Amino acid sequence: MPGEDILQDARTRMGKALEATNRDMETVRSGRASPRLVEGLRVDYYGQMTPLQQLAGIHPSEAHLLTIQPYDRSIIAAIEKAIRASDLGLNPTNDGAVVRLAVPPLTEERRKDLVKTVHKKAEDGHVAVRNIRRDAQESIRKQEKAHEISEDESRKLQEQLQKITEEHVQKIDAAARAKEADVLAV
């Protein structure tokens, strides 16, 4: 059926939007030290902005301490600079070979700010899913106008598309609630 490929494409794209939203939420700091917190930080590596995860091994040594072991010791200063320039609010230290990043417990005010950030990232995910739905609806309408599918088929496809959209929005909401609980946990 001509419309089924539109639904499958929308389902795939919405799945990718969900994954991207989840990855984005993982970068929001919670009370514990997580490598995801700094993996995506861009470090100036010989004039090239490179993700930290490609330049160093990142390990949580304790609940509130990350250890960053660069593969090339000459970039320790660049790593520290990138961490300080980020909006994480963390202060790195180094011993010449390893960068240590203490993740202090969050204050109540900071937790509330981070919850707002989580909600914003969830809303960005909702917008992405709705945009995919809109594109798919346009494709279905075009097929209906071109008489490739009937009006009934078009209505059925749009109802199925709405169910798929609601599914993905619910998954984003669930991920946001889980991250919010993680951020608010003391």
pTM score? 0.75
**Cβ neighbours for 25, distance < 8 A, ≥ 6 positions apart:** 118, 121, 122, 175, 176, 179
Question: Do 153 and 178 reside in the same domain of the chain?
Answer: yes
**Domain CATH for 136:** 1.10.132.20
For residue 138, the model assigns a pLDDT of: 95
Question: Do 76 and 56 reside in the same domain of the chain?
Answer: yes
Q: How confident is the model at residue 186 (pLDDT cuts 50, 70, 90)?
A: low
Condensed to tens digits (0 to 9), the pLDDT of residues 116-175 reads 999 999 999 999 999 999 999 999 999 999 999 999 999 999 999 999 999 999 999 999
- Separation of first and last alpha carbons in the chain: 53
Domain that holds residue 57: 36-102
Q: Would residue 148 count as lying in a domain?
A: yes
Condensed to tens digits (0 to 9), the pLDDT of residues 73-127 reads 888 888 888 888 887 778 888 888 898 888 887 788 888 888 999 999 999 999 9
